Structure 1
Amino acid sequence: MSSPTTKRQKNAASDLTSLTDDLVREYQQNGFLVFRNFFSSDEVEAIKNEMSRVIDEWYVEFDKTGEEGADWEEVVNRDPLVRQGKLKPLDRLHSVRRLFRISVNLHFFKQIASHPKMLAISKQLLGDDVKLLQSMALLKPPGTAEKKWHQDNAYFRLIPNHLLAFWIALDEADVENGCMHIVPKSHNHGVDDHSSPDDDHVVYSLTNLPEKDKIVSVPLSPGDALLFHGELQHYTPSNNSIRMRRAIQMHYASGQCKPTVCPKDGEEKGSEGLQQEGPTHFDCAPCIEPKFWYYRKAELLVSGHDYGGEHI
């Protein structure tokens, strides 16, 4: 089996205020950019401390009630094997795989969502009207499984596909402990077929895996950032090390985007009649995908005008 190419070239970002024309063209062509020192060491430590605080406070309530809560996916998401009693974690931090919708639930991360660097780049690439679509803190403790190959807009299904994400490393992230892997230029041909053989959103992923010689690994140091288009194919392998791998991921989209749903899915209201330019690959026959098109309104307006109605 051939090893993936490693993306080592990085753009210094300690004083970044905007992208050069060359970087904009590189992003548009390849679907991603890598920045070194995007967040300072103080910012990285503050984020890790806040993540630990949130998890500790969540466990205070969990110890009282023994219940995950009415919506267990909101904020603290423990590893499914931990929830099922099939895995005993090293400690409480190692029991959690994700903090979800953090910017809408936690003031600290609401401030992070409007970080000057992320906001400036998002406005430059998406326009003045920008919403934070989704925010997550990701934890990949030692021994945890891969996140399968996918495209983010396979979940969101926004039209137009004007969305992007920042993946910011909080620990050293490498191939051994599950750094990001991407397929450059894969954002140029729309959303490819996704499926879930086990009828489980956790394994909802690309039906056809990318060719190995097209895969690029993206190792990052704490504070480095991967910026990528919302339709770039990506995944993270299992953490085969004894090290934790933490990151935050912020999805931004143009405020003029609208969600759409498969026309066969009559239970959800979508933006009917909208046409996406280029291929769509919406898998309408058989109708497997729509149940995984979970969609919530954008978390925050971070710049410009809120269009309301069917817009995000």
Structure 2
Amino acid sequence: MNNPNQYVFNGSITPENVQFYEDYGYLIAPHIVSVDEIEELKKDTVKIFRGKYGAMEGLIPVTAEENDADVLKKYVAIHFPHKISPVIKKNLSQEGIVSVLENIVSPNVKCMQSMLFVKGPGKAGQAWHQDEFYIPTRDKSLIGVWIAIDDASIENGCLWIIPGSHKSGYMMPRVDNFSDEYADIDTIDVTSYKEEIIPVEVKSGTVVFFHGYLLHSSKRNKTSDNFRMALVNHYMSAESMLPWDQDGKLPPTEDMRDILMVAGTDPYAYKPITDLNKPYLRPEVLIIKK
């Protein structure tokens, strides 16, 4: 899609950007994260996977002789890295990102999840899905914020999206996945959208914002020597409660309060903030049955 309104420049969002998001379900903000911020994220990623923030289940001990690339190639991603990394926690409230969220989500915004993907050479991608299938909100305000740490290309496994697919307003059925492009055991049949599927190739420091109902995926990293690292955070309006049990990992709830406010005020501030989610390493094959 070649529409100038899909781009947010210099963190300055326009009414045309807001309308584009409502119509197509995504926005692209080139270089909204600075070169220095990206470099800090890269160094911090290595620290996490070298165990500098402490041990985690599934974290493999490393030696000083192993180079950083070899260490990162052992993993796919870590969920909730902001729980241990002050660098990633700081990025949840990055000024340019929050400015966009205040305009397309709500003046009051909370974050409930971070995910750090390393996606080394040969690693499979994520099958077609809608984020709200996993993180349910009451007001359909969920938004993914995808920060490109490395340049993301078709070759190394960039995002693919279907513009406007969020407007269906419902969770599409899951079917078995038979493509080796994806690590997941199930996917969504997108053959009816064949002509509308587009890749989102972006440079390091670019941020992609996408609606919780937008169909999106990423394919296998087909390069032999390039990573496609990305920090992906999820936000929603603070006005909505969050009935999220983390795919059965947490007790059923009407409002999961393990959140971080990034803008405005918390209408539910009378409820305590909790610390329920712990960082964990994402498996090579993700099995979530709902």
Task: State the TM-score, normalizing by the size of structure 2.
Answer: 0.77
Amino acid at match of 1:269: P
1:225 aligns with 2:207: yes
User: How many Å apart are 1:259 and its aligned residue?
Assistant: 3.4
How much does 1:304 deviate?
Answer: 2.7
Deviation at residue 310 of structure 1 after TM alignment: 11
| TM-aligned CA distance change 1:311 to 1:187, over 3 Å | farther
The answer to which structure has the higher strand fraction is 1
Please, which of 32, 36, 57 is the counterpart of residue 30 of structure 2? 36
Within 5 Å, which residues of 2 pair with 1:198-277? 203=184, 205-210=186-191, 211-242=193-224, 243-260=226-243, 269-271=252-254
What does 1:1-312 align with in structure 2 at a 5 Å threshold? 11=7, 13=9, 15-16=10-11, 18-57=12-51, 68-69=56-57, 91-195=70-174, 197=176, 203=184, 205-210=186-191, 211-242=193-224, 243-260=226-243, 269-271=252-254, 297-306=257-266, 307=268
Q: How far apart are the structure 2 equivalents of 1:191 and 1:138?
A: 27
Cα shift at 1:236 = 0.3
Q: Is the 8 A contact 2:93 2:262 kept in 1?
A: yes
| Amino acid aligned to 2:124 | A
After TM superposition, the structure 1 stretch with the greater mean CA deviation from structure 2, 302-311 or 159-168, is: 302-311
Deviations 1:154-212 (A, max 9, x none): 001111111212111111211111000000001111232343759xxx62644422422
Q: CA deviation at 1:268?
A: 5.2
2:22 and 2:8 map into 1 onto residues whose CA distance is 19
Q: Number of aligned pairs?
A: 254
Partner Cα distance (1:134, 1:160) in 2: 18
Q: Secondary structure at the match of 2:214?
A: coil
Check the 8 A contact 2:159/2:217 in 1, yes or no. yes
Deviations 1:12-41 (A, max 9, x none): 63x32x411011001110001112111121
SS at match of 1:203: coil
Gaps of 5+ in 1: 1-5, 63-67, 79-88, 272-294
Structure showing greater radius of gyration is 1
Contact 1:141 1:245 in 2 (8 A): yes
Secondary structure of residue in 2 paired with 1:166: strand
Unaligned segments of structure 2, at least 5 residues: 61-67, 178-182, 275-290
Q: Is the 8 A contact 2:33 2:205 kept in 1?
A: yes
Alpha-carbon spacing, 1:228–1:298, altered in 2? closer, same or farther (3 Å): farther
- Is the 2:174–2:189 contact (alpha carbons within 8 Å) kept by the matching residues of 1? no
Question: Secondary structure of the residue that 2:134 maps to in structure 1?
Answer: helix
| Identity among equivalent pairs (%) | 25
Encode CA deviations 1:37-84: one digit per residue, 9 max, x unaligned.
Answer: 1112111111111111121125x966xxxxx53xx5xxx6x8xxxxxx
Q: 1:204 to 1:155 in 2, by over 3 A?
A: farther
- TM (normalized to structure 1)? 0.72
Q: 2 CA distance for matches of 1:114 and 1:90?
A: 28
| 8 A Cα contact 2:160 2:217, kept in partner | yes
- SS of residue in 2 equivalent to 1:228: strand
CA offset at residue 303 of structure 1?
A: 2.2
Distance 2:3 2:44 in 1: 29
